[in-house]
Structure 1
Amino acid sequence: MTDSSLVDKAGTIRAGEELDLEQLRQYLQPVLGSKVANLKLQQFPGGFSNLTYLLSSGSDKWVLRRPPFGSTVKSAHDMSREYKILSALQNVFPYGPIPIHFCQDQSIIGCDFYLMNYIEGLVIRREYPPQLKMTPDQIRQQLFNFFDVLGELHSVDLVAAGLDTFGKPVGYVHRQVDGWCKRWADAMTPDTANCDATMQWLQDNMPAESGKASVIHNDYKMDNVIFSASNPQQVIGVLDWEMATVGDPLMDLGCTLGYWVETGDPDFFREYRNMPSDVEGAPTRRQIIARFQQRTGLSVNNFPFYYCFGLFRLAVIGQQIYYRYYHGLTQDIRFKMMVKKTIILQQMCELIMAGKIST
């Protein structure tokens, strides 16, 4: 039986992120029919990038995705691209939401957006909900299942998905390092960290390509995954596909483990933790890598590079978010704190480069 108290719930829309509900009602009438008459709009918590809203009419529910307000990085918020990837994955990856409708008429809410089905379940953020009772063994299995689904994504047949010509997998690692270094330069503010040494180290320690091209999510973390509210160890949905592409799966693993804080990490980094990866029962990065290799058949060599890249990339994303706040493009007070996280992530990169962090 589903525990309704565990189901992720939408709530009040944040100030400055309101949508024109009447415009939506009129536009969506051909899509949703008479249900638009009682259409209600709420917003899901969390998220610093693309915004997610709940549309409901009686017992019917849908999810609307749109770019963030005030963003100037259009390539990072391509709604049509996200919609295309979800459409392609429908028959080959059972965890993606079902896309319903894409709108490129920017007169409706001021931007492109799309509608998808609503997946009811548990979303885990910084802490486990207090009413969720799991043993350390159950937590361990849940988190292994979380990474197993990432491995399933990396095993998707690109031809069967129609994604064999999507993205540019050859030279992916080199382009990613160059691209994120440029993004850092474009988003710098006077009060942020100095990442020059990290960027040079990534250039100097770049490994050869893994030789495998996979669908990669590029932001796979616990609050982008939906677990069953009746069986919390089971993954039932994967969300937020805005950065997905075809590329090197080891880069994707490194990006996910950039979020992974464990008990042996420095205290300053454990303060950064945004998911419960250091609770009793949670596997370490080494254990996750071993499991990933066993499940996918991929060899994870040169992991300090992939891990350092994952941390640096998160620092850049945090800095891009903070840049919007610094220049008055958003009023969301959460964005103000991102500069501190950027500095913490850079400190971890320095420890990896010095060989002081176990990966």
Structure 2
Amino acid sequence: MALTDQSTDIRDGEELPAGVIDAYLKAQITGLTGEPRISQFPGGASNLTYLLEYPEQEFVLRRPPFGQKAKSAHDMGREYRILNQLKDRFPYCPKAYAHCTDESLIGTEFYVMERLKGIILRADMPAELNFSAEQTGQLCRSFIDKLVELHNVDYQACGLGDLGKPAGYVQRQISGWSQRYDKALTPDAPRWEAVQAWLNDKMPADHAKSSIVHNDYRFDNVLLDPHNPMQIIGVLDWELTTLGDPLMDLGNTLAYWIEAADPAPVQLMRRQPSHAPGMLSRQQFVDYYAERSGIVIDNFDFYYTYGLFRLAGIVQQIYYRFFHGQTRDQRFAQFIQMNRLLEQMALQVISKSPL
């Protein structure tokens, strides 16, 4: 079994014109020879990701999904710019080579970056790694350290000071995700009204420290060195990155963090091995982040509930495309069940919260 992420055949309806891509890249990147072999990475539920294999070099192409897209989402130029300007101060970004704005080539804009070969942890820890609980805990803390490191990057020095507006970030996220969720409603979707009301009522002020917010920081967006899997060598999927409150970013990450003690229905939603022996619990995760960042966190229920609601919004936007036949990817058929489960998880947090 290969531990590095493997591409597969392209899904029906998501093909790329190889000749067009080849001509474009050879005009942008010197020294390319031969013809590209194009395959698709099967993971991910938002932007589509393809492997371009030339005889002497490999690239990754990212393009938006087919069908209806949320306004301002899937901005290829923005993601390309982030990779280029952040890499010198956060060396885990892949190198970006080209951004194509001519939608006549493949029907949409796209960008091309280097392929980083590494291990991506999915739902379960690969047996081949044979990690002890102590090693798993060490990797978990390294994963959190990288998030703290990102939140400490001087975004002004990177030339990314105009990437977002930190002031009013918390309020904009709550109102913005409420609007996006309502626009993506399908007849079978939960309304989330009680959760939205609670978030509006308990909303804190923006944290005094603003930072780069990755907005999708998970183990399956992190690459481990194939020769030393304890070492993180890459962080992927920067499409949602902005400037804002680092605790909101922490809430986003913890929304995906299914711990070992969570019930069986929740475990079915897990997409990273956060339940493995040695992995920190959500509370331990928060405590370690607070220790490493120097940020006092005394109201995490709000940020975690926000993360669950935002995740439901993302899930529902994807399900909306499936519901209306804009994508044929059968993985998305069950997203409505995930949405309902997320609402129940959020309501449970609220019912126990001292806020």
Q: TM-score, normalised by structure 1?
A: 0.96
Give the 5 Å matches for 1:345-356.
345-355=342-352
In structure 2, which of residues 283, 288, 300 is the aligned counterpart of residue 286 of structure 1?
283
Larger CA deviation: 127-136 vs 247-256? 127-136
Matched with 1:72 is 69
Superposition deviation, residue 33 in structure 1: 4.2
Paired letter, 2:37: K
CA contact (8 A) 1:325 1:336 kept: yes
Q: 2:125, 2:12 → 1: CA distance?
A: 27
Distance 2:99 2:276 in 1: 40
Structure 1 stretches lacking a partner, 5+ long: none
For residues 169-225 of structure 1, the C-alpha deviation after alignment (integer angstroms, 9 at most, x for no partner) is: 000000000000001100111111230001101000101211111011000111111
Match of 1:315 among 299, 312, 317: 312
Give the aligned partner of residue 194 of structure 1. Answer: 191
- Aligned partners of 2:114, 2:294: CA distance in 1, in Å? 33
- Which segments of 5 or more consecutive residues in structure 2 lack a partner in the other structure? none
Q: How does 1:30-41 map to 2 (within 5 A)?
A: 30-33=27-30, 35-41=32-38
Give the secondary structure class of the aligned counterpart of 1:93: coil
Name the SS for the 1:131 alignment partner.
Answer: helix
- Between the aligned partners of 1:284 and 1:307, the Cα distance in structure 2 is 13
Q: What SS is found at the alignment partner of 1:100?
A: strand
State the identity %: 46
Q: Distance in 1 between matches of 2:155 and 2:23?
A: 38
Do 1:13 and 1:42's aligned partners in 2 also have CA atoms closer than 8 Å?
yes
Residue 352 of structure 1 aligns with an amino acid whose one-letter code is V
Counterpart selection for 1:234 from 227, 231, 248: 231
Tell me the equivalent position of 1:49.
46
Does residue 107 of structure 1 match 2:108?
no
SS in 2 for 1:62: strand
Is the Cα contact below 8 Å between 2:133 and 2:279 reproduced in 1?
A: yes
Aligned pair in 2 of structure 1 residues 34, 99: CA closer, same or farther (>3 Å)?
closer
1:343 alignment partner in structure 2 = 340
The answer on 1:223 being equivalent to 2:209 is: no
Give the counterpart of 1:85 among 61, 82, 85: 82
Secondary structure of 2:239's counterpart equals coil
For 2:41 and 2:345, locate their aligned partners in 1 and report how far apart those are by CA, in whole Å.
31
**Does residue 8 in structure 1 map to residue 5 in structure 2?**
yes
Alpha-carbon contact 2:33-2:55 (below 8 Å) kept: no
Q: Look up the SS of the partner of 2:243 in the other structure.
A: strand
The residue that corresponds to 1:268 in the other structure is: 265
Deviates more, 1:33-42 or 1:159-168: 33-42
Greater than 3 Å deviation, 4+ residue runs: none
Structure 1 counterpart of 2:179, which letter? K
Is residue 51–residue 68 contact of structure 1 (8 Å, CA) maintained in 2? Answer: yes
- Kindly state the Cα deviation for residue 147 of structure 1 after the two structures are TM-superposed: 1.1
Counterpart residue type for residue 291 of structure 1: Y
1:243-281 deviations in Å (ceiling 9; x for gaps): 000100000000000001112223322221111111111
Equivalent in 132, 137, 140 of residue 137 of structure 2: 140
Which runs of structure 2 are paired with 1:290-309 in the superposition (5 Å)?
A: 290-309=287-306
When the two chains are superposed, the root-mean-square deviation of aligned CA atoms in Å is 1.6
Whether the aligned pair in 1 keeps the contact of 2:94 and 2:115 (CA below 8 Å) is yes
* Alignment partners' CA distance in 1, 2:163 and 2:72: 15
2:29–2:97 CA contact under 8 A, matched in 1 = no
Residues 312, 339 of structure 2: 8 Å contact kept: yes
- The one-letter amino acid of 1:271's match is L
Q: Provide the rounded CA distance (Å) in 1 between the counterparts of 2:322 and 2:303.
A: 29
The aligned counterpart of 2:115 is 118
Tell me how far 1:236 sits from its aligned partner: 0.4
What secondary structure sits across from 1:192 in the alignment?
A: coil
Equivalent residue of 1:75, what SS?
coil
CA distance in 2, matches of 1:285, 1:39: 43
The equivalent residue for 1:166 is: 163
* TM-score normalised by structure 2 residue count: 0.97
Residue 36 of structure 1 deviates from its aligned partner by: 4.8
Kept after mapping to 2: 8 A contact 1:28/1:36:
no
